[in-house]
Structure 1
Amino acid sequence: YVCYTSGTTGTPKGVVVPHRAVLDLVGSMEHLRLTPADTVAQAANPAFDAVTFEVWATLAAGARLVGLSRNTVTDPDCFTEAVRAHGVSVAFLTTALFQLIARERPAAFAPLRALLFGGETCDPRRVREVFAAGAPERL
């Protein structure tokens, strides 16, 4: 399949991702221990690489995938409600989204078993705020 770079050095570029790379990514996520009991948030734009983890690791584990709209993911109140309403246990967010939600609703992540974020530098204050509000088991 083709995913797109973030465009940090200019226009986003399409990159062909071979099947082997998807299998390697799914295999590298063993530390998360996804199980059929998990519900994973599908928060990434389907054209970007984070969706590879969200979709394929989830399906390979027999877990449930819940699609969250862009409006839901970018609104801290809506995100908090969606996590609770859908029983989301695992989420992967960009650092920018993590920081937005952490700043406004640091307890939004407390129900999660695991939260991953990445893509850029994170303000350590946001991480401390999430821990103070009741962090997920794995952050």
Structure 2
Amino acid sequence: NPDTKTLGIAPNNLAYVIYTSGSTGTPKGVMIEHGNVIRLVINNWYAKITPNDCIAQCANVSFDASTWEIWGSLLNGAKLLIVAQDTLLDAASFENVLISEKVSALWLTSGLFNQYVDLIQGSFKHLNYLLIGGEVLDPHNVAKALYGDSPPKHVINGYGPTETTTFAASFAIIDIADNHTISIGR
């Protein structure tokens, strides 16, 4: 591995630019620094990824969730499983891949999670971490994951605009009552 000091790489150096329309609807480039990526995936409180893990890369690379998937695996020595779009969009195929590839960490948008929670429950038992976010979580569907026959070890609500490098806040969901909102954490 090259020495970062010799190369002159510092935490405040630009890692990448990702585009977002934010709340304005007008695309803008958001400059993400190396330190932001490290904060997201190294020594965070919500997901302790190890070389024994396998993270499914389901998000489009133009979506900031892919930052957690890609760098979370690579910077922690874990396996990165790139899920083909046709597999992702077929619940049965997606569940089969999650199980056969021993995926242990998965990030899903709230919308996709809501559509798939009943269809991919068999894969949840293999997950150390199920992260959900992007929109308000449906307590009824989250309860299905938490209290189903095969719950993941940890269910995390992740929230944040692109400018904060994927998550500005996160919340470990341990218990839930129907019709209660789920915290985005801090």
Provide the residue aligned with 1:20 in structure 2.
35
User: Structure 1's 116 and 38: CA in aligned 2 closer, same or farther, altered over 3 A?
Assistant: same
Instruction: Please say if 1:105 is aligned against 2:124.
Output: no
Give percent identity, aligned residues only.
Answer: 39
Provide the residue aligned with 1:56 in structure 2.
71
Q: 1:45-78 CA distances to partner (integer Å, 9 max, x unpaired)?
A: 0111111111112111110000002222222111
Aligned residues: 139
Whole-angstrom CA distance in 1 between matches of 2:34 and 2:19: 16
Report the alpha carbon displacement of residue 123 of structure 1 after superposing the two structures with TM: 1.4
Report the alpha carbon displacement of residue 20 of structure 1 after superposing the two structures with TM: 1.8
Instruction: Please say if 1:66 is aligned against 2:54.
Output: no
Q: Is contact 2:110-2:133 (8 Å) kept?
A: yes
Report the alpha carbon displacement of residue 31 of structure 1 after superposing the two structures with TM: 3.4
Provide the residue aligned with 2:154 in structure 1.
138
Instruction: Please say if 1:81 is aligned against 2:81.
Output: no
Could you list the runs of 5+ residues in structure 2 that have no partner in the other structure?
1-15, 156-186
Q: After superposition, where does 1:117-132 map in structure 2 within 5 Å? A: 117-130=132-145, 131-132=147-148
Q: Greater helix share, 1 or 2?
A: 1
Q: Greater strand share, 1 or 2?
A: 2
Letter in 1 for 2:153: E
Aligned CA-pair RMSD: 1.9
Q: Is contact 1:40-1:58 (8 Å) kept?
A: yes
Q: What TM-score do you get using the length of structure 2 for normalisation? A: 0.67
Q: 1:66-96 CA distances to partner (integer Å, 9 max, x unpaired)?
A: 0002222222111101101111010111111
User: Structure 1's 122 and 38: CA in aligned 2 closer, same or farther, altered over 3 A?
Assistant: same
User: Structure 1's 6 and 92: CA in aligned 2 closer, same or farther, altered over 3 A?
Assistant: farther
Provide the residue aligned with 2:18 in structure 1.
3
User: Structure 1's 124 and 41: CA in aligned 2 closer, same or farther, altered over 3 A?
Assistant: same
More deviation, 123-132/63-72: 123-132
Could you list the runs of 5+ residues in structure 1 that have no partner in the other structure?
none
Q: What TM-score do you get using the length of structure 1 for normalisation? A: 0.88
Report the alpha carbon displacement of residue 113 of structure 1 after superposing the two structures with TM: 1.4
Whole-angstrom CA distance in 1 between matches of 2:99 and 2:28: 35
Q: 1:77-128 CA distances to partner (integer Å, 9 max, x unpaired)?
A: 1110110111101011111111111143333322211100101012111112
User: Structure 1's 133 and 12: CA in aligned 2 closer, same or farther, altered over 3 A?
Assistant: farther
More deviation, 86-95/124-133: 124-133
More deviation, 71-80/41-50: 71-80
